[in-house]
Amino acid sequence: MIIDALNGVSFTLQLTIQCPFLVFCRLAINGIFDAKSFGFMKFPYPLALLLSLALCGFNTALLSQVDAGEDVDFLCFEDSVQLQASPGFQSYQWTPTDFLSDPNIANPFAGPFPIGTPPQTYTMTAVDVDNVESTDEITVYISISVPTNAGFDTLICSGEPVVLGGSPVSPTGTTFTWSPNEDIDDVNASNPTVSPSVTTSYSVLSQNSLCTGADVVTVIVEEIPAINFDYQAVPTCTGLEIQFENMGASFLEYEWEFGDGTFSESYSPSHIYAYNTDYLVRLNGTSDLGCIYTSLGVIEVTDFTSYVDIITPNVITPNLDGKNDNLDINVSGRIGDCLQMQVFNRFGQVVFESSGNNTRWDGHTGAGELVSQGVYFYYVEFNGSSYKGSVQVLY
Q: What are the pLDDT digits (tens) for 171-189?
A: 888 999 999 999 999 999 9
Average pLDDT for residues 226-232, to the nearest whole number?
Answer: 95
Q: What is the structure's pLDDT at 356?
A: 78
| Nearest CA-CA partner of 24 in 32, 35, 34, 16 | 16
Q: Which domains does the chain have, with CATH numbers?
A: 2-62 (no CATH), 72-143 (2.60.40.10), 154-221 (2.60.40.10), 229-304 (2.60.40.10), 308-393 (2.60.40.3080)
Q: What is the pLDDT of residue 378?
A: 94
**pTM value?**
0.59
What pLDDT is recorded for position 4?
40
Q: Please write the tens of the pLDDT for every residue from 242-301.
A: 999 999 999 999 999 999 999 999 999 999 999 999 999 999 999 999 999 999 999 999
Mean pLDDT of 13-32: 48
Strand 374-382 with 360-361, pairing? unpaired
User: Range with the lowest mean pLDDT among 8-12, 160-164, 338-342?
Assistant: 8-12
pLDDT at 35 over 90: no
316, burial (CB in 10 Å: exposed 0-12, middle 13-18, buried 19+): buried
Q: Which of 41-55, 235-249, 350-364 has the highest mean pLDDT?
A: 235-249
Over residues 135-145, the mean pLDDT reads 94
Q: What is the mean pLDDT of the chain?
A: 85
Q: What is the structure's pLDDT at 54?
A: 53
Lowest mean pLDDT among 31-35, 277-281, 384-388: 31-35
Least confident span in 28-37, 116-125, 175-184, 200-209: 28-37
**pLDDT at position 301:** 94
Categorize the per-residue pLDDT at 28 as very low, low, confident or very high, splitting at 50, 70 and 90.
low
Which pLDDT does position 261 carry in this prediction? 96
Which pLDDT value is given to residue 360?
A: 85
Cα four-point dihedral sign 49, 50, 56, 58: positive
pLDDT of res. 376: 96
- Beta pairing class for 2-4 and 10-18: antiparallel
pLDDT exceeds cutoff 80 at 95: yes
* Closest by CA position to 272, among listed 317, 307, 248: 307
The predicted structure's pLDDT at residue 47: 47
Q: Is the peptide bond before 119 cis (omega within 30 degrees of 0)?
A: no
Per the model's pLDDT, the better-predicted residue between 166 and 60 turns out to be 166
Of residues 69 and 320, more confidently modeled: 69
Q: Is the pLDDT reported for residue 166 higher than 50?
A: yes
| CA neighbor of 374 nearest in space, from 350, 353, 392 | 392
Looking at per-residue pLDDT, the higher value among 2 and 183 belongs to 183
pLDDT of residue 221: 96
Quote the pLDDT of residue 7. Answer: 44
32 pLDDT tier (thresholds 50, 70, 90): low
Q: What is the pLDDT of residues 369-380, one digit of tens each?
A: 999 999 999 998
The pLDDT assigned to 13 comes to 53
Question: Is the pLDDT score of 352 beyond 50?
Answer: yes
